Amino acid sequence: MKKLYIETVGCQMNVLDSEMVVASLRREGYELTAELTAADTILFNTCSVREQAENKTYSALGRLRKFKRENPGKIVGVMGCMAQKDQRLVFERAPFVDLVVGPGQLQRIPDLLREIESGGGPQMAVSLGRREGSADEIRRSHETFDPLRDPAMRPTPFQAFLRIQIGCDKFCTYCVVPMTRGPEQGRPPAEIIAEARTLADQGCVEITLLGQTVNSYRHRSEGRTTRLSDLLGSLHEIDGLRRIKFVTNYPKDMTRDLLEAVRDLPKVSPYLHVPAQSGSNRILERMKRGYTVEDYREMMARIRELVPDAAVTSDFIVGFCGETDAEFALTYDLVAECRFKNSFIFKYSERTGTKAAELMPDDVPYDVKQWRNNELLQLQNRIAEELNQEFLARTVEVLVEGPSDWQKRQGAAGPVLQLTGRTPCDRIVVFDGTERQIGQFLPVAIYEVSAHTLFGAVVTHEVGPELLSIG
Ligand code: 5AD
Ligand code: SF4
């Protein structure tokens, strides 16, 4: 049996892509190993969103140079967004790489590996650039493959990602995704629902719908348009599924019908990740985000009106081209005002091929970016902790995911384990329990909180539903 080692960085799309690739290779007789040196085939699933992610991958590849010289029969492959973005450059920077495959061509990996094994030399499969063919050809070259899923390949068998949309057409000026993942395409609803049914039949209780701008999802066929809200309605009917989440949202498309679906469908988590990116209108315009801070505030008001208990999270980029102290202060004010459950904060990283790289100098010094990052993070952490305080002495419903990070570091364990799980609002809860409880929904009473974690104890006596807060 051939052994496969795969390392995944980046977003949830990449996690799902790795699951698909592993599933396809297992059908070819491969077996997964956690030991790089024991593997016959080594794959890196890569990210291009920031330079740091790419540098890490190239360093990891650099460390393999000697290993590959001593083990020439082993195959080293680079897949994902960096493969699509850098293409032949990967072979130039790491000449011992055998395989470069973009995220739209992953279905070809088994064939390409066979070709390499039979002496065909290095192989590359990438999708078409945004101007390298007809609209239809470009779209098809980015289509993801959709083989049978393999529950054994997921972090847990009872949770799964489900892609409903491929690519992105928003073209924010800082972002490589429209190039690496191609044009936005909504998958046909029937396909999505069939996949969700299969997942539920396999014992999956939670699905997370994935799309770069998931709430912009539209599918037109036979004169009918299906929106995300319609899709949620259909998925809600599937027996066995108990939680449905969706990420990532685009502020402009956070429409009333969608928020009403979140409000009215109990299986849909009241958890909304809606990146704002900046609190300054001039910066938002330079980012070409397509909305103003006033639009974002209106959207927040709509969320608070229709789903008052929703946990809202956001992304911010600090130090974007030309961002002044006063403009950063506007971002700071927006975070203070919106009181997000969490924000992911990034220092602007110039990406070749984007409009920002072409037209705007990356002129905010690194230490200014770092300072802004720290300031915003401190504020966000303070807010997160304050929001979590509201959970003290409340009981939340937790889907138990498995041993906590602390427990995993302990190695061998007794009958009682420290477990971790999530509330419907995506809050992480840590508590003591037993292995048998993994995969179950349990009521947990919270007695301590930090900015990112709730600590509690499983409630063993009967709790009426009125005692369960939405979490
Ligand atoms: N530099 C820094 N952060 C970026 N993001 C996307 N592109 C860049 C970039 N060039 C951030 C955005 C996005 C998140 C996934 O990554 O905040 O929402
Ligand atoms: Fe990138 Fe903007 Fe598309 Fe998000 S919406 S993937 S930031 S281009």
- Site to probe by mutation for ligand 1, drawn from 81, 177, 289, 315 as the one with most ligand atoms within 8 Å of Cβ, is 315
Query: What rounded mean pLDDT belongs to the chain?
Result: 95
User: What is the rounded average pLDDT of the residues 94-104?
Assistant: 97
> Distance, CA 10 to ligand 2 centroid (Å)?
14
Structure tokens at 427: 């809050």
> Distance, CA 417 to ligand 1 centroid (Å)?
37
> Distance, CA 82 to ligand 2 centroid (Å)?
16
Q: Is the Cβ–Cβ distance between 52 and 136 less than 8 Å? A: no
The fraction of the chain above a pLDDT of 70, given in percent, is 97
pLDDT of residue 147: 59
- β-sheet bridge partners, residue 207: 160, 244
pLDDT exceeds 90 at position 414: no
pLDDT exceeds 90 at position 248: yes
pLDDT tens, residue by residue, 116-150: 999 999 999 999 998 899 999 998 998 877 656 77
Confidence label for 350 from pLDDT (cuts 50, 70 and 90): very high
pLDDT of residue 155: 79
Cα-based torsion angle of the residue sequence 87, 88, 90, 92 in order, rounded to the nearest 10 degrees: -160
Ligand 1 within 6 A of CB of 296:
no
Domains of the chain, first to last: 2-139 (3.40.50.12160), 154-269 (3.30.750.210), 275-388 (3.30.750.200), 395-469 (2.40.50)
> Distance, CA 373 to ligand 1 centroid (Å)?
13
- For ligand 2, atom 5, name the residue with the nearest CA: 170
pLDDT exceeds 80 at position 463: no
> Distance, CA 62 to ligand 1 centroid (Å)?
26
Ligand 2 within 6 A of CB of 179:
no
Ligand 1 within 6 A of CB of 174:
yes
The pairing of strands 159-163 and 206-210 is: parallel
Structure tokens at 115: 């070709």
> Distance, CA 258 to ligand 2 centroid (Å)?
20
> Distance, CA 41 to ligand 1 centroid (Å)?
31
Ligand 1 within 6 A of CB of 346:
yes
Ligand 2 within 6 A of CB of 213:
yes
User: What is the rounded average pLDDT of the residues 449-465?
Assistant: 85
pLDDT tens, residue by residue, 26-62: 989 999 999 999 999 999 999 999 999 999 999 999 9
Lowest mean pLDDT, pick from 80-89, 148-157, 411-420: 148-157
pLDDT of residue 49: 97
User: What is the rounded average pLDDT of the residues 286-303?
Assistant: 98
> Distance, CA 60 to ligand 1 centroid (Å)?
22
Residue 454 amino acid letter? L
Q: Which residue has the tokens 């014992």?
A: 203
- For ligand 1, atom 13, name the residue with the nearest CA: 315
Question: Could you say which DSSP state residue 188 is in?
Answer: P
pLDDT of residue 465: 54
Structure tokens at 147: 């083989």
> Distance, CA 98 to ligand 1 centroid (Å)?
29
Confidence label for 153 from pLDDT (cuts 50, 70 and 90): confident
pTM for the full predicted model: 0.95
Confidence label for 413 from pLDDT (cuts 50, 70 and 90): confident
pLDDT tens, residue by residue, 256-272: 999 999 999 999 999 99
Ligand 2 within 6 A of CB of 168:
yes
Ligand 2 within 6 A of CB of 172:
yes
Ligand 1 within 6 A of CB of 320:
no
pLDDT of residue 123: 98
- Site to probe by mutation for ligand 1, drawn from 345, 346, 372 as the one with most ligand atoms within 8 Å of Cβ, is 346
Ligand 1 within 6 A of CB of 349:
yes
Between the alpha carbon of residue 458 and those of residues 404, 418, 430, the distances in Å are: 15, 11, 10
User: What is the rounded average pLDDT of the residues 82-96?
Assistant: 97
- For ligand 2, atom 2, name the residue with the nearest CA: 172
